[in-house]
Amino acid sequence: MATRGITVNQIGYPPDARKTFICTGEGGTFEIVREADGRIVYRGETELPVYDEASGITVSRGDFTACTEEGGYFVRLHGETSASFAIANNPYAELHTGLLKSFYYFRCGMELEEPYAGPWKHAACHTAEGIVYGEPDRKHGSSGGWHDAGDYGKYTGPGAKAAADLLLAYEFAPQAFQRPVPLPETDGLAPDVLHECRYELEWLLKMQDERTGGAFHKLTTKQFPALDVMPEDDRAELYFMPVSAAATGCFAGVMALAARVYRPFDEAFASRCLAAAERAWEWLEGHPASPENPGFKNPADIATGEYGDPVDLDERYWAAGELFRTTGEAVYHEAFRKLAAETFPKYELGWADMGGYGTIAYLFGEKAKADGTLHASLEAGLLGVAERLARRCAEDGYLTSLRPEDYIWGSNMVLLNRAMLLLIAAKVSGEARYQALALEHVHYLLGRNVLDYSYVTGFGHRAVRHPHHRPSVGDGVEEPVPGLVSGGPNRGLNDDCMQEHLQGKAPAACFIDDELSYAGNEVTIYWNSPAVFVVSHFVK
């Protein structure tokens, strides 16, 4: 399918939102055409063209915010047409369910049955005990949780980020989770997002070393299986990799968060999560941060994802912030204040820089118990970051906060994490413009980008179809597993497929929809999770 020169959000727009399409070149008089009868419902002129550095082209924008009648439409300009899109009162409801349902497809250790999985069903996988690395006689149950990405590894830090995003999505936008997905656990009592998160949390609890309270860094085989291997056919031995401070901090943070969220639904589970978080904190206290600590490194015979992180102050900060918010105990407040005085990113939401989660925990905790000066400082810092992102949006041809240097491995995570931060800033400040800017990021994700791609499998007129995702490659089903967020353009061209096909491309155009492109077209739970958070805010 050819790339169109007129790009839109291929799902659609809410009637009361700003509505913009973007086209290559000079623009001119455009028409909004109703699909049902071919009637022109709106004519307008594009804005003055601007040069978009990230895509390396001149673009023009057309604003059709005045169109508010629900229905299906397309843009016509100079005889060319855009993808079709809807104007609808709740255009992202199905997308939201699909993004959340993807976590069910990532599940490990259980059969995915046809009533829930459809043609993407498969047998139970990775049900054997795992071996504690370096201790061949020490084995533990290891099944459950979510596969991390296009591979079948399971990683404590990235898993904690993904679960945290979903739990925060529910905390901030509970109205978006009223409809069942459905899942095998759907019971009409707890929302399905909490059933799905619990599947991961139960596995994360297995990652706590019962001897020390620290969290194992990851659980993987020694090598990745071939790209077409289904999960139930990956039978190599599984290994719990050594405890790390970064993993333990993430574990403590997400467990303290879970204790708070699950308390109204399951007191016993909430207490179990809190006890695990407190024990992990004890491990952190007994293993203080040190500049000499290199962080986790893969042993010489391990070739799976390392997720190395030499700085663990941000994970400790998150843990202290969540434990203080959940318990109100002074010991965690004091630890948080001390960590806040250290230098590390406090507004990032990536798996390596988790400080933003600690800041969110503190800003949305009980204000009467907070340190007023610190609270004000963190709030001002957050809004300062949001303002910088807003300025970037104003400078960008496609109205996002991504600059050329931001098109890295997983650029769509950068996109969505920033949209998350803008939404948090909207909550803190009450300024609706930040929420509107977050929606511009959603428009990019769903097709209003230079490549005319919806980066979510199964959603949009020109959605990614060939993700680097073993089940999608090996299952014999033509369509990929739906609802998966692709990593997106990567100017680093970090795989052979990108090197072969994308030399000389502008940063925003460094993407190929090919299953071999693991550095551009892989999928992960922690790219889907911020997408769920962001889209939740636009679901009624």
CATH number at residue 230: 1.50.10.10
Please report whether residue 9 resides in a domain.
no
pLDDT computed for residue 262 by the predictor = 98
Give the distance from CA 361 to its chain's centroid.
Answer: 18
Measured distance CA(410)–CA(527) in Å, rounded: 8
Residue 346 C-alpha from the chain's centroid: 18
Is the per-residue pLDDT at 202 higher than 90?
yes
Q: Which helix (H) or strand (E) holds 358?
A: helix 355-363
Q: Output the six-digit token pair for 186.
A: 């759907």
Q: Domain for residue 57, yes or no? A: no
DSSP secondary structure of 98-160: HHHHHHHHTB-SS-B-HHHHGGG-B-----SPEEETT-TT-EE----SB--SSS--EEHHHHH
Burial annotation 127-166 (CB, 10 A radius, 16+ → b, else e): beebbbbeeeeeebebbbbbbbbbbbbbbbbbbbbbbbbb
pLDDT at 531: 98
pLDDT of residue 127 exceeding 80, the answer is: yes
* Mean pLDDT along residues 306-334: 97
Burial zone of 197 (CB within 10 Å; 0-12 exposed, 13-18 middle, 19+ buried): buried
pTM above 0.85, yes or no: yes
Phi then psi for 456, rounded to 5 degrees? -115, 120
Cis status, amide bond into 507, omega within 30 of 0: no
Residue-wise pLDDT tens digits, 190-200: 999 999 999 99
The total domain count for the chain is 1
Q: What digits encode the pLDDT tens for the residues 54-89? A: 999 999 999 999 999 999 999 999 999 999 999 999
Confidence of residue 3 (pLDDT cuts 50, 70, 90): confident
Give, in degrees to the nearest 5, the angle at Cα 488 between 396 and 494: 115
Mean pLDDT of 149-176: 98
pLDDT computed for residue 526 by the predictor: 98
Residue ranges making up the domain that contains 364: 93-370
Q: In what helix (H) or strand (E) does residue 315 lie, and over which residues does it extend? A: helix 313-327
Band (294; pLDDT cuts 50, 70, 90)? confident
Domain annotation covers residue 378: no
Amino acid identity at 419 = A
Expressed in angstroms, the distance from the first to the final Cα of the chain is: 33
Q: Which residues, 6 or more positions from 377, have their beta carbon under 8 angstroms from its beta carbon?
A: none
Q: What is the distance between the alpha carbons of residues 93 and 539, in angstroms, rounded to a whole number? A: 6
Give the pLDDT score at 18: 97
DSSP state of 66: T
- Take residue 268 and report the two structure tokens written for it: 């016993």
Assigned domain for 88 exists: no
Q: How many CB atoms lie within 10 A of CB 427?
A: 15
171 in a structural domain: yes
Helix (H, G, I), strand (E, B) or coil at 343: coil
Per-residue model confidence (pLDDT) at position 291: 78
pLDDT value of position 39: 98
Catalytic residues: 468, 513, 522
Find the mean pLDDT for residues 485-490.
Answer: 98
* Pairing outcome for strands 218-220 and 239-240: antiparallel
Q: Is the pLDDT of residue 292 over 80?
A: no
pLDDT of residue 215: 98
Give the C-alpha separation, 160 to 216, whole Å.
Answer: 13
CA distance 116 to 105: 9
Average pLDDT over residues 378-397: 98
DSSP sequence for 245-301: HHHHHHHHHHHHHHHHHHTTT-HHHHHHHHHHHHHHHHHHHHS---TT-------TT
Using DSSP bridges, classify how beta strands 85-87 and 12-13 pair: parallel, antiparallel or unpaired: parallel
* CB 243, CB 209: distance < 8 Å: yes
Total residues belonging to the chain? 540
Please report the pLDDT score of residue 191 as a whole number. Answer: 98
pLDDT at 1 over 80: no
Within-domain flag for 145: yes
Nearest 5 degrees, angle CA 127-CA 130-CA 131? 160
Cα angle value 30/35/37 (rounded, 5°): 105
CA 524/CA 522 separation, integer angstroms: 7
Q: What is the distance between the alpha carbons of residues 53 and 58, in angstroms, rounded to a whole number?
A: 9
Mean pLDDT for all residues in the chain: 97
Calpha distance 14→23 (Å, rounded):
21
Asked if residues 447 and 453 have their Cβ atoms less than 8 Å apart, the reply is yes
Q: Percent of the chain having pLDDT more than 90?
A: 98
Residue-level pLDDT at 465 = 98
Q: Which DSSP string do the residues of 394-445 spell out, in sequence order?
A: HHSTTSSS--GGG--TTHHHHHHHHHHHHHHHHHHH--HHHHHHHHHHHHHH
Q: 261-283: per-residue pLDDT in tens?
A: 999 999 999 999 999 999 999 99
Q: Which whole number is the average pLDDT over 441-456?
A: 98
**Residues 492, 408 contacting (CB under 8 angstroms):** yes
- What single letter denotes the amino acid at residue 155? Y
Cβ 359 vs Cβ 346: under 8 Å: yes
Mean pLDDT over residues 167-183, rounded? 98
Question: Is the model's pLDDT at 259 over the cut of 80?
Answer: yes
Res. 293 pLDDT band, cuts 50 70 90: confident
Give the residue from 170, 183, 302 showing the smallest Cα distance to 236: 302
pLDDT band with cut points at 50, 70 and 90 for residue 176: very high
- pLDDT of residue 219 exceeding 80, the answer is yes
User: pLDDT, tens digit, for every residue of 33-58?
Assistant: 999 999 999 999 999 999 999 999 99
- Give me the mean pLDDT over the 8-16 stretch: 98
pLDDT of residue 2: 75
